[in-house]
Structure 1
Amino acid sequence: MKLKIVSRSGNQVCELDVAGADETVSEMKKQLHQVKKKLYPSRQRLTLPLKAGETRATALENGAKLSDYGLGDGSVLQLKDLGPQVGYATVFFWEYFGPLIVYPLFYFFPKVFYPGMRSEAPRGHHLAQHLALYYWSFHYIKRILETFYVHKFGHDTMPVANLFRNSAYYWGFAAFVSYFINHPLYTPPRVEQTLVAFALAMVCQLCNFRCHLILSSLRKPGEKGYKIPRGFLFEYITCANYTMEVWGWVLFTIAVQALPAAIFGTVGTLQMTQWALQKHKRLRKIFDGKEGRPKYPRRWIMLPPLF
């Protein structure tokens, strides 16, 4: 069975001679890679040609068979080169590993980052600075462990440019926040405020972990599609994991009472808000209660009672 592979502009890329319609998309991509060495499978995005009335082409999923898309001898597929790719776990590891290393530098090496200022400030660190280091380190160690042992990614790879962009965000903010919190002239809030805020922040971390376990259990290995998250905070909030993440950083800011921490938390909240809106909209669209599909329950999106 012959398949014609064309670019998005319509130019022919190659012609593949596949075994038959029972062959999977993954196998076909490997065969295409043999013909076009540059286009390894994760770099390929294959879609059906647009039909009349369609605004978005149907993308072929790796585990599906060619017959699932009605492909036969002489069928045409459009190819998009996604560019150099890198694994999700790799990106997550490096973007989380950076803050784990960068933040402690300002805590342990004040003479390097604050030359000539130690003589003007009290010796040692305040309790808030100690606890901030512990909390920050715990958070990113947790994230790294979740990356390898909890999270299940819907996609195997992402553009390699994301590795540098995401790392710049996390590493840069780690330096920004740590520089001011560990500054020799840093003035901490009341001890009671610090202790209560960090205690509540740790509760948020544990709740966030619980949410991630629930999300991880939704999809079995090799299973495709979306499911409605249920249980714990997901009974009330679509993106309960983001809710706990946001509250964790709000409490971190209260515990250290530092503007850079508030800026970091605000930027992160804005990004999570965008993701939460997209996810909520997608779930409501998929689970519309029609043709036997369940109807998505009424829930807050991320931050009750705000939205």
Structure 2
Amino acid sequence: MKLEVVSRSGRSIATLDVNPDSTVAELKKKFHGLKKTYYPARQRFALPVKAGETRGQVLSDDKRLSDYGLTEGGKLEFKDLGPQIGYSTVFFWEYFGPLVLYPLFFFLPQYMYPHIKAPAGAPQHALVQKLACAYWCFHYAKRIVETFTVHKFGHATMPIFNLFKNCGYYWGYAAYVSYFVNHPLYTAPNETVSVACLAVAVLAQLGNFWSHIILSGLRKPGEKEYKIPKGGLFNFVTCANYTFEIWGWLLYSVAVQSIPAYLFAATGAAQMTQWAIAKHNRLRKLFDGKDGRPKYPRRWIIFPPFL
């Protein structure tokens, strides 16, 4: 059958001769054969907008064209998603930067603070600065390991702009926090409190790691359906991984008593809260207890007892 590919404005782009039993992924390969610029990861196809809708149904790669009721002479709307880059590549670079930048201020103060000298007789680093540097490096090393061994990405790629945006966020905050925490004139807070906070923060990071393992085990290879997370803190909180992450950085901030650290924790918590609310609402909508579907259990969203 022949399908017409049009832009969202209705302009004709191409006509494809395809088998009704072809998958959307095969359709994308065929379109790429005609339009070399648009490799499959850059393409998104949707059904034309119907009355009462704001956007057409987006086609999934693993579905067949016949599953969408497409027939001879049907139309598909095409959207160029722009240049794409792999999720794991973006994650690696956004985490590698902080892993390298933070220790520079710790190990090379003579170059990072060339005109500032520590008070005579004072140790080069207080215990909290040493432990904070170790915690920071542990966290980002863990994230890189998770990227390649634990995480399963729902999408293979993302817009390449995200690489620069994400790296700007993580690298910028790494330099900002490290500059003040490792400053030669830094005044260390109560050592007992700092050590206790960082010790509990490490436990929070281990909880975050375990939560990621639970999430990774929810889907078998090739599966895309959502499942209700169970086990550990997920029995009480929808986004347990975010809960552990937030607590880890809050405790780090209390340990080092630095305003940039609190800002970093607050910014991350705000973003994770938005993601958590969206995921919580999506899971409640999917698992509504109707037509044989399980009902999503009553849980906190991210930060009990407040949210």
TM-score bin, normalised by smaller chain: over 0.9
Is residue 90 of structure 2 the alignment partner of residue 82 of structure 1? no
1:26-55 C-alpha deviation (Å, 9 max, x unpaired): 111011001001111111110011122323
Matched residue SS, 2:137 = helix
Map residues 169-208 of structure 1 onto 2, 5 A cutoff.
Answer: 169-208=169-208
Letter in 2 for 1:251: L
Map of 1:145 onto structure 2: 145
Distance across 2 between alignment mates of 1:173 and 1:188: 20
TM-score of the aligned structures, taking structure 1 as reference length:
0.97
Distance across 2 between alignment mates of 1:88 and 1:116: 41
Q: Structure 1: give runs of 5+ residues left out of the alignment.
A: none
Distance across 1 between alignment mates of 2:111 and 2:123: 16
Distance across 1 between alignment mates of 2:261 and 2:235: 30
Distance across 2 between alignment mates of 1:119 and 1:63: 61
Q: Which moved more, 1:276-285 or 1:46-55?
A: 46-55
Matched residue SS, 2:155 = coil
Give the drift of 1:62: 0.8
Give the drift of 1:72: 2.2
Distance across 2 between alignment mates of 1:29 and 1:226: 25
TM-score of the aligned structures, taking structure 2 as reference length:
0.97
Matched residue SS, 1:99 = helix
Map of 2:215 onto structure 1: 215
1:191-217 C-alpha deviation (Å, 9 max, x unpaired): 211211111001101100110001011
Number of aligned residue pairs: give it.
306
Matched residue SS, 1:224 = coil
Map of 1:296 onto structure 2: 296
Give the drift of 1:285: 1.0
1:164-216 C-alpha deviation (Å, 9 max, x unpaired): 00100000000000000000010111221121111100110110011000101
1:198-250 C-alpha deviation (Å, 9 max, x unpaired): 11001101100110001011111111121111111111000010000000001
Give the drift of 1:120: 3.3
Map residues 226-265 of structure 1 onto 2, 5 A cutoff.
Answer: 226-265=226-265
Percent identity reads 61
Q: Which moved more, 1:156-165 or 1:51-60?
A: 51-60
Give the drift of 1:81: 0.6
4+ aligned runs moved over 4 Å, structure 1: none
Map of 1:283 onto structure 2: 283
Letter in 2 for 1:29: K
Map of 1:34 onto structure 2: 33
Matched residue SS, 2:134 = helix
Q: Do the aligned residues in 1 keep the contact of 2:118 with 2:185 (CA within 8 Å)? A: no
Distance across 2 between alignment mates of 1:299 and 1:36: 48
Map of 2:13 onto structure 1: 13
Distance across 2 between alignment mates of 1:176 and 1:44: 38
Q: Which moved more, 1:257-266 or 1:176-185?
A: 257-266
CA RMSD of aligned residues (A): 1.0
Q: Structure 2: give runs of 5+ residues left out of the alignment.
A: none
Letter in 2 for 1:302: I
Is residue 54 of structure 2 the alignment partner of residue 55 of structure 1? yes
Map of 1:97 onto structure 2: 96
Distance across 2 between alignment mates of 1:48 and 1:215: 32
Map of 1:66 onto structure 2: 65
Distance across 2 between alignment mates of 1:162 and 1:61: 23
Matched residue SS, 1:295 = coil
Q: Do the aligned residues in 1 keep the contact of 2:118 with 2:124 (CA within 8 Å)? A: no
Letter in 2 for 1:89: S
Give the drift of 1:116: 2.9
Map of 2:107 onto structure 1: 108
Distance across 2 between alignment mates of 1:116 and 1:42: 50
Distance across 2 between alignment mates of 1:143 and 1:125: 26
Map of 1:274 onto structure 2: 274
1:94-130 C-alpha deviation (Å, 9 max, x unpaired): 1001000110110111111111322536232111111
Distance across 1 between alignment mates of 2:98 and 2:224: 33
